[in-house]
Amino acid sequence: MIEFVKDTDIYKKVILGEVPRAKRFVWIGTSDLKDLHVAKSKKMVPFLEVLSDLIANNVMVRLIHAKEPGPNFRRDFDKYPNLIGGLERLLCPRTHFKSIIVDGKFAYTGSANLTGAGAGAKSIRKRNFEAGIITDEPGLVDAIAEQFDEVWRGTGCGDCGRKEYCADYK
């Protein structure tokens, strides 16, 4: 399956649909990272709670993002202590791709950052116009995962030209 998704479909099918059902791992790549809130058990909670729940269930969660998130994100982060040791995080200022890989069997790639206006539950009047694809096609999932993993492994770090801005340079 390869499906074009846009706007609230990204939220419904990826953020609420596939991510919480992960059994082994979730890899998230995003340029911008904000205090995204999502629906859970008839209330709105920080997406960080969803990630915390996954970690509590022994799901590996990796996050690559381009810049430090704001104070609201950091405040919510501190509410979930198992994120401190359980969330594997890499800051890479060159990251501009937006992708989510779940268990190596599902992937999203597109324009939506991990923000309320991009991938969250914002109203239609406050959302960005976003587009992407979701897939379970093995070759495409593998290609999206490989791009994420190349950055994670630091494949381009030596030649990126922005090492002085990268706190996580290896």
Q: Does domain 2-165 have CATH number 3.30.870.10?
A: yes
**Model pLDDT, residue 168:** 61
Tens of pLDDT along 45-75? 999 999 999 999 999 999 999 988 988 999 9
pLDDT of residue 165: 67
The confidence score (pLDDT) of residue 127 equals: 85
pLDDT for 75 equals 92
pTM over 0.85: yes
Which residues of the chain fall short of a pLDDT of 50? none
Cβ atoms of 127 and 115 within 8 Å: the answer is: no
Predicted confidence at residue 88, as pLDDT, reads 96
Element (H, E) at 119: helix 116-119
Q: Which residues in 18-27 are b (16+ Cβ under 10 Å) and which e?
A: bbbebeebbb
pLDDT of residue 119: 86
What is the model's pLDDT at position 97?
96
pLDDT for 27 equals 98
The contacts of residue 93 (CB under 8 Å, 6+ apart) are 66, 67, 162, 165, 166
CA distances from 23 to 19, 69, 142 (A): 9, 27, 18
Phi, psi angle pair for 2, to nearest 5°: -130, 125
pLDDT recorded at residue 19? 98
Query: Where in the chain are the domains?
Result: 2-165
